[in-house]
Amino acid sequence: MIAFDFGSLCFNRSTEGGIIMVIAPKSDYTSLDAFLDGAFAYLESDPNFYDDWQEIYRERDGSPASEEKVQYLRSCLTEKMDQRVNMLLPPFERAVYVAPPAWNEVSLGAETRSEYLFILWATSA
């Protein structure tokens, strides 16, 4: 498992937003939900990634993520960080909301052919 915290300085334009992402091989977990449990415990294991992840996301939405929100997060990771961070993401086979999307936060659990991902975009703007 690996975690990334892309703070506001990673983006091309001035922003108060950031992205946290956790990735792990599917072979390490029995399901996306089991991965999310592991991802939140992993994030809590390091003080640089804040705390209370398991409490905040204890009750998960689990509904399919809209294509619009998936594309928005993909663009944040691949276009809006251009020239600072370059990332190649495989297609998602499935993406679900971890929590209902809000104006200041979108959280997804996603599955590719070989990985599980947790992606959180949030802003304080």
pTM equals 0.88
Angle, alpha carbons 89-90-96 (nearest 5°): 90
Q: Domain range holding 107?
A: 2-123
How many distinct structural domains can be found in the chain? 1
DSSP per-residue string spanning 38-91: HHHHHHHTSGGG-S-HHHHTSS---PBPPHHHHHHHHHHHHTTTTTT-----PP
Q: For 27-68, what is each residue's pLDDT tens digit?
A: 999 999 999 999 999 999 998 887 788 888 888 999 999 999
